[in-house]
Structure 1
Amino acid sequence: MATEIATFAGGCFWCMVKPFDRYEGVESVISGYTGGDIPNPSYELVCTETTGHKEAVQITFDPERITYRELVDIFWKQINPTDAGGQFFDRGTSYQTAIYYHTEEQKEIAEQTKEELERSGKFDQPIATQILMAKEFYPAEEYHQDYYKKNPQHYNRYHVGSGRAHYKQEVWGEEHE
């Protein structure tokens, strides 16, 4: 089986694992950092907002079972794509949204879905999510991996308390997770 990789920055990476983890064809979802130029950054360093890195997830998937387009559609429903300053109560460049493409085909799909979202009329502000060429991805510390499984109560409080759960319910009309 030939797998592919998709990389998305959607604010806090804790909230970006669970939505993808449940789909057939998703082999793994790793929390980490990408987009900057500092090698092997730590969580503490990324939080200083000096590295250029964003919190992100890297998904290994089987394109015969789930397409890149399906993954991008899932991504859009996890974020507020019009917020250029971060996501929900997490502010700063490390929490900004981006789709990191690994191939020209991924770039075309990302740009097409962004244009479709812009034209949909669902948002009254422009889409701020960037579409960028993938850079080196650095897995986050082990305690950040599968956070929703390791710390379900804290994860659920955070998911609701940050405003993400309410936003998804309000915009998409159902829980997208």
Structure 2
Amino acid sequence: MTEKATFAGGCFWCMVKPFDQFDGIEKVVSGYIGGHVENPTYEQVKTGTTGHLEAVEITFQPDVFPYEQLLDIFWQQIDPTDNEGQFQDRGPQYRPAIFVHNEKQRGLAEKSKQTLAASGRFQKPVVTEILDAVPFYEAEDYHQDFYKKSPDEYKEDLAKSGRVEFIKDNWEKVDA
């Protein structure tokens, strides 16, 4: 049996690869969630006026790859203290959020957020929202598996985004 997990963490191009490499992860789809326009296009969403966030929807086998592990990966891909966008991508369509599909996910997401907030890892408050999952709209085909289809452009975008440095500075430190 599979479940879905949906995470917004800035540019969806950078949110696919971290999840797309484990047994138990069946599919990672780039798309849009949370807005007021049905079947939005990238051109509409990038204006920041549709209410949608760029996100990834992950189909996973919880008995092989538990939701808690997905949450751990998610937190380590974002700046949970920045609700105005992520890294070089600014605007409401790039803010981070966890979209929960059931009460079990909600409980686990809330617990993980509280644990992170209490960890002292960040000087500013953890502001990433936990929201109910609403319709998810798959992004255009050219956005799917972008890191595989356009590896040079993906690497260039990732390198200039500031994401890699943030992750290194905040997550790859040896914990005392």
**What's the C-alpha RMSD, in Å, of the aligned pairs?**
0.7
Aligned to 1:26: 25
Aligned to 1:36: 35
| Structure 2: tracts of 5 or more residues without a match | none
Cα distance in 2 between the residues matched to 1:112 and 1:97: 17
Percent identity of the aligned residues?
A: 55
Q: Deviations over 1:121-176 (max 9, x none)?
A: 000000111000000000000000000000111101111110001111111117xx
Cα distance in 1 between the residues matched to 2:152 and 2:91: 25
Aligned to 2:9: 10
Cα distance in 2 between the residues matched to 1:15 and 1:49: 19
Aligned to 1:51: 50
Q: Quote the offset at 1:37 in angstroms.
A: 1.6
TM-score when normalising by structure 2:
0.97
Cα distance in 2 between the residues matched to 1:166 and 1:156: 14
Aligned to 1:69: 68
Aligned to 2:81: 82
Q: Quote the offset at 1:62 in angstroms.
A: 0.5
Q: Quote the offset at 1:64 in angstroms.
A: 1.1
TM-score when normalising by structure 1:
0.96
SS at match of 2:83: coil
| Structure 1: tracts of 5 or more residues without a match | none
SS at match of 2:121: coil
Moved over 4 A (4+): none
Cα distance in 2 between the residues matched to 1:24 and 1:120: 29
Cα distance in 1 between the residues matched to 2:126 and 2:172: 20
Cα distance in 2 between the residues matched to 1:141 and 1:120: 38
SS at match of 1:100: strand
| Number of residue equivalences | 173
Q: Deviations over 1:19-71 (max 9, x none)?
A: 00001100000000001121000000001111100000000001110000100
Paired residue type of 1:13: F
SS at match of 2:81: coil
